[in-house]
Amino acid sequence: MSLFPSPLWGGVRGGGGDWCTRIAQQRPPSPTLSHKGGGSTPVALHRCALTIMLVGGLLLIAGFSDTASAQGSPLGMPRGQAPAVPIGGVLGWIFAKQAEFYRQFSGLIRAAKSDGTAAWSLFALSFLYGAFHAAGPGHGKAVISSYLVANEQTWRRGVVLSFASALLQALVAVVLVAIAAALLHTTAATMGRAVNVIEIVSYALIILIGLRLLWVKGRAFIASAKTLHRPASVGAAATPLDHQPHAHCHHDHGRECHHDEHGRDHHHHHEDEACAWGHAHAPEPEELGGPGGWRRGLSAVIAVGLRPCSGAILVLVFSLAQGLFWAGAVSTFIMGVGTAITVAMIAAIAVAAKAWAKRFADTRSGYGMLAMRGIEAGAAVVIIAFGTLLLTGYIVTERMVGI
């Protein structure tokens, strides 16, 4: 948490805290009561379905807005086909800043040839550019965020995933330009085709990850829906106090919930992060919380990090032409750090929002649980949608002209 200066987080954290206390106060005193209202009335089911449809639709819209900006290009660089670029107060400012930073690269790289101090300016610029540019398309914010939401991941893991994918992205760009341009002297068009192959692999991986998640989460969702039709209570109530928030799980969802809800470091989160992050009881699912979880996280890192950022490639090629490849490489990695910070923040917001939604869902069981499973399954669908759109966007446009 100390990673982020609090002004950046003020709103989110403050808000989360407020809701948290309120919900904590509203929490039913005993687990048995938590069944109230969580029953299997048709109305509840109807609302639940509606929620899921809405959420799914929203996620899809978000997906479209993301992928639309990462398709073909008029001059061989990834660019969008979105009909419009929203230019609002804050966004307009971010947009203007990015462009401003980006335009300074060539001048600073030239200057760094003769003036050592210009290199430091270049690195500072790279960091700022990375942080601002991560807001732009193609940096996997949506995929990472959806992945975290679908997986009940913690914000910490979100930070790790964001940094790993951003740094991998930087590494891919540096290695690609080093091999293609510096060693093989390929043309921009050839380099573009290489990027294209990488993109296809990356997008296919994203789809695979989404499909796997949908398989797991979709089944959990269906199982959750089925339990709504069953008589709820099977006794219960003998749960330890610190499990109170989970109590409904034990009788409502039986095996399914056990499987899904009891990560190994549940208690750790419970005590450590408490309400501020809405993580009082957001344990990691067994399949991702355990040692194998990091391996699966790695798949997301690779899927997102494989695709090099076109801005970085341009900076690298330009610095190579200026005989300062090393400066371009350092600059690219610093950009990656800036990118990672932004992506991590967005991912953390998504995680916090979900945890927040979960608090509401958890105040009573059954329907709420179903909604949460629905959100997770929806997030998995979003990942698939991203991957598919990115992939088909490429296939349809096929504009890898290498400029």
Partner 1 sequence: MSHRYFACLFALVAALQVTSAIEAGAHPHVWVTVRSELVYASDGSVTGVRHAWTFDDMFSTFATQGIEGKKKGQFTREELAPLAKVNVDSLKEYDFFTHANANGKPVEFSDPAADYYLEWDPKETVLTLFFLLPLKAPVKAKDLSLEIYDREFFVDFSFAEKNPVKLIGAPAQCKLSIVNPEQMNSDLAARLSQLGADQRDPTLTIGSEYANKAVVKCP
Residues 279-318 that bind partner 1 (CB under 8 A): 310-311, 313-315, 317-318
Q: Is 397 in the site for partner 1 (CB under 8 A)?
A: yes
Which positions from 157 through 216 interact with partner 1, judged by CB under 8 A? Answer: 181, 185-191
Q: Which is nearer to partner 1, 65 or 290 (CB)?
A: 65
Q: How far is the CB of 293 from partner 1 (least distance, A)?
A: 22
CA 282/CA 276 separation, integer angstroms: 12
Give 246 or 364: the residue with its C-beta nearer to partner 1: 364
CB of 329 to partner 1, least distance (A): 16
Number of residues that bind partner 1 (CB under 8 A): 87
Would you give the binding string for partner 1 spanning residues 119-158, x where CB under 8 A is met?
--------------x-xxx---xx--x---x---------
Least distance in angstroms from the C-beta of 290 to partner 1: 26
Of 350, 294, 303, nearest to 148 (Cα)?
Answer: 350
Q: Looking at beta carbons only, is 73 or 227 nearer to partner 1?
A: 73
Residues of this chain, 373-392, that bind partner 1 according to CB under 8 A: 375
Two tokens, residue 241: 């106090």
d(CA 276, CA 352): 9
Among 236, 357, 390, 391, which residue sits at the site for partner 1 (rule: CB under 8 A)? 357
Q: DSSP 3-state assignment of 400?
A: coil
**Direct distance between the N- and C-terminal alpha carbons of the chain, in angstroms, rounded to an integer:** 43
Among 124, 222, 298, 353, binds partner 1 (CB under 8 A): 353
At how many degrees (to 10) do helices 310-321 and 89-114 cross? 20
Give the whole-angstrom CA distance, residue 239 versus residue 244.
7
Candidates 195-203, 221-229, 260-268, 367-375; binding stretch for partner 1 (CB under 8 A) = 367-375
Nearest approach in angstroms of CB 348 to partner 1 is 10
Nearer Cβ to partner 1 (106/299)? 106
* x/- track of binding to partner 1 for residues 217-246 (CB under 8 A): ------------------------------
Q: Which residues contact 238 (CB under 8 A, 6 or more apart)?
A: none
Instruction: State the Cα–Cα distance between residues 231 and 253, nearest whole angstrom.
Output: 11
Cβ closest to partner 1, residue 229 vs residue 255: 229
Min dist. Cβ of residue 402 to partner 1 (A)? 7
Q: How far is the CB of 100 from partner 1 (least distance, A)?
A: 9
- Report the candidate in 297, 289, 337, 272 with the shortest Cα–Cα distance to residue 123: 337
Residue (25 or 238) nearer to partner 1, CB: 25
**Residue 321 touches partner 1, criterion: CB under 8 A:** yes
Q: Which of residues 39-98 bind partner 1 (CB under 8 A)?
A: 43-44, 47, 50-51, 54-55, 58-59, 61-62, 65-66, 69, 72-77, 79-89, 91-92, 94-96, 98
Backbone angles phi, psi at 164, to 5 degrees: -60, -45
Find all residues with CB under 8 Å of 151, minimum gap 6, and list them: 213, 284, 285, 288, 376
Burial class (CB in 10 A: 0-12, 13-18, 19+), 81: middle
Residue nearer to partner 1 on the CB measure, 96 or 234: 96
d(CA 306, CA 309): 9
Q: Pick the closer one to partner 1 by CB: 47 or 262.
A: 47
| CB burial string 139-173: b at 16+ within 10 A, e below | bbbbbbbbbbbbbbbbbbbbbbbbbbbbbbbbbbb
Dihedral angle sign, alpha carbons of residues 160, 297, 394, 177: positive
DSSP assignment of 247-309: HHHHHHTHHHHHHHH--TTHHHHHHHTTTTTT-TT-PPPHHHHSHHHHHHHHHHHHHHHSS--
Contact status: 114 vs partner 1 (CB under 8 A): no
Closer residue to partner 1 in complex, CB, 51/169? 51
Is the Cβ of residue 77 or residue 306 nearer to partner 1 in the bound state? 77
- Which of 249, 63, 82 is CA-nearest to residue 142? 63
Q: Least CB distance from residue 224 to partner 1, whole Å?
A: 14
| Minimum distance from residue 262 beta carbon to partner 1 (Å) | 23
